[in-house]
Amino acid sequence: MGCFFAFGGKMIVMKFGGTSVEDTAAIDRSCRIVIERLHRQPFVVVSAMAGVTNDLLEAGRLAGSGKISESLEFFERLERRHEEFLPKGDLTNLLGLLHWINEAGEFSPRAQDSVAAWGEDLCSEIFARALRRLGIEAIHIDARDFIVTDRNFGNARPLWDKTFKKFQIIPEFFKETNRTALVMGGFIGSAVEDGETTTLGRGGSDYSAAIVGAAMGAEEIQIWTDVDGMMTADPKIVSTARTIRCLSFAEASELASFGAKVLHPRTLEPAMDKNIPVYVFNSRNPGGAGTRITRDAVPCQNIVKSIACKRDVSVITVETSRMLKAVGFLGKLFTILESIGVSVDMVATSEVSVSFTLDDSSKGPQVLDALRRPHWAVSLENNLGLACLVGNDLKWTPGIAARVFGSIREFHVRMISHGASMTNLAFLVRRQQLEEAVHRLHSEFFSEFDPKVFAEPG
Ligand code: ADP
Ligand code: ASP
Ligand code: MG
């Protein structure tokens, strides 16, 4: 991340996720949250309305597999969802795109990005119009004009220097008035060279917000979602989960990477780089304290701050007697994984074998294929779940492992990773036992604390 300019005045980035823009009431609520912060010069990033990205991708998939009439049912559903906000003709080009995909007979990664981007394109236009109706000079900007990425369709990476350069014109927009908000669709970028539409990966609007924050030298990056901040566990799994007031970048990154969907795993990279605080707030409860994520960990009475989990994890094991005292085996293995674009979350090794988890379990068969070598016995295990405890000082705290594994003593634990980072202890169990494991860990580590003082500074 080379070139960077700091915006002279104050400005903040406010990102609203799918449920915060899912219907008229949600859009109105989110617009009012923006209006209350106009004096801070908000750059608003919005997701597609909840469920729209899935519907768009389903429409594209059906069109690509020759089922155009079923695809058009999804199109009509999308049209109905948006018709209360936009003139009907605004979706004509999407209809054309679906017919084109149908004729091509495939839904390529490129076409997937062009189709998926429609959700954010429409929603950002709708959000800007809603602000204007409330008397705000909302300026809609196209993410493609600002976020320049590589050509990795479906999981594109920003090209920092090019992207930061584009943002240099943004302060001009804020100069004239303090009634201005900028509105941009998240998730979308444009490929270097030809400007073709790319996307940053599912859930990528959080990452877009952080990219904008870093490019603008923002005062803070606010992620507005449907829960009261980052919590001690996914509240959909543990109903008694509590909001964590403060987290360090390192802790929040571990949580996001190990399954806490509330933040896209890459969100904190640009924020960390420019040392910009990130807040997670609830758009349905805007008065709540939310979670503040900053560089330094705040001392708090809880050693474990949160428990993240991932369902449907796969493990690959490579066994070979040639590994015994051999040099370079792991190097060779990871070079192969790199060549097929597979990234690994957890690794465990013994004298003659190595096991690792895949961050995308659908790639299991492809990895098995790529690792077929003489003298290597390769196997794939599916249906596992990963639980991960995060806390600033876990590595040096005695007795943690005993409490963790004592609370799930009768469970079959498949793989353990502890001590590589200061902040996490992760392990695998059978997929069916994952939720129960998270419940038990939550009771073990959080039952004795007063929710009101949980993770307060001091
Ligand atoms: P948005 O549409 O706003 O981007 P997401 O659905 O992507 O929202 O993320 C919010 C969801 O993340 C919450 O509804 C919650 O179920 C889930 N989640 C998982 N782990 C956590 C956690 N530790 N803290 C808060 N929410 C979590
Ligand atoms: N709309 C995109 C998705 O559903 C991006 C996002 O919501 O952050 O994955
Ligand atoms: Mg999200």
205 touches ligand 2 (CB under 6 Å): yes
pLDDT tens for 147-178 read 999 999 999 999 999 999 999 999 888 766 66
Mean pLDDT of the chain: 91
pTM higher than 0.85, yes or no? yes
b/e 118-155 (16+ beta carbons within 10 angstroms → b): bbbbbbbbbbbbbbbeeebbbbbbebbebbbbeeebeb
Spacing, Cα 274 to ligand 3 middle (Å): 22
Burial class (CB in 10 A: 0-12, 13-18, 19+), 293: buried
Closest ligand 2 atom to 18 CA: 7
**What is the model's pLDDT at position 394?**
84
Choice between 453 and 377, residue whose per-residue pLDDT is larger:
377
All structural domains of the chain: 12-226 (3.40.1160.10), 306-454 (3.30.2130.10)
**What is the model's pLDDT at position 3?**
40
265, amino acid identity: P
Please report the DSSP string for 264-283 in residue order.
-TTTHHHHHHHT--EEEEET
Ligand nearest to the CA of 122: 2
Give the pLDDT band of residue 6 (cuts 50, 70, 90).
very low
Closest ligand 1 atom to 244 CA: 24
**What is the model's pLDDT at position 175?**
67
Give the pLDDT band of residue 450 (cuts 50, 70, 90).
low
**Tokens found for residue 273:** 């780089």
Residue pair 214/266 in contact (Cβ under 8 Å)? The answer is: no
pLDDT tens for 221-247 read 999 999 999 999 999 999 999 999 999
Residue pair 414/384 in contact (Cβ under 8 Å)? The answer is: yes
47 touches ligand 2 (CB under 6 Å): yes
Report, as an integer, the average pLDDT of 209-215: 98
Q: Whose CA is nearest to atom 5 of ligand 1?
A: 262
pLDDT tens for 416-449 read 988 777 789 999 999 999 999 999 999 999 986 5
Picking from 10, 38, 267, the residue whose alpha carbon sits closest to that of residue 134 is 38
Give the pLDDT band of residue 453 (cuts 50, 70, 90).
very low
pLDDT tens for 310-364 read 998 999 999 987 666 667 888 889 999 999 888 888 999 888 889 999 878 888 9
Q: CA torsion sign, 145 to 113 to 192 to 148?
A: positive
CA distance to 75, 77, 218, 342, per residue, from 80 (Å):
9, 5, 37, 39
**What is the model's pLDDT at position 457?**
44
Percent of the chain residues past pLDDT 90, beyond the cut: 76
Give the pLDDT band of residue 5 (cuts 50, 70, 90).
very low
Closest ligand 2 atom to 54 CA: 4
**Tokens found for residue 288:** 């709540």
Percent of the chain residues past pLDDT 70, beyond the cut: 94
Q: How far from chain centre, in Å, is Cα 120?
A: 15
**What is the model's pLDDT at position 458?**
36
**What is the model's pLDDT at position 70?**
97
pLDDT tens for 172-208 read 887 666 678 999 999 999 999 899 999 999 999 999 9
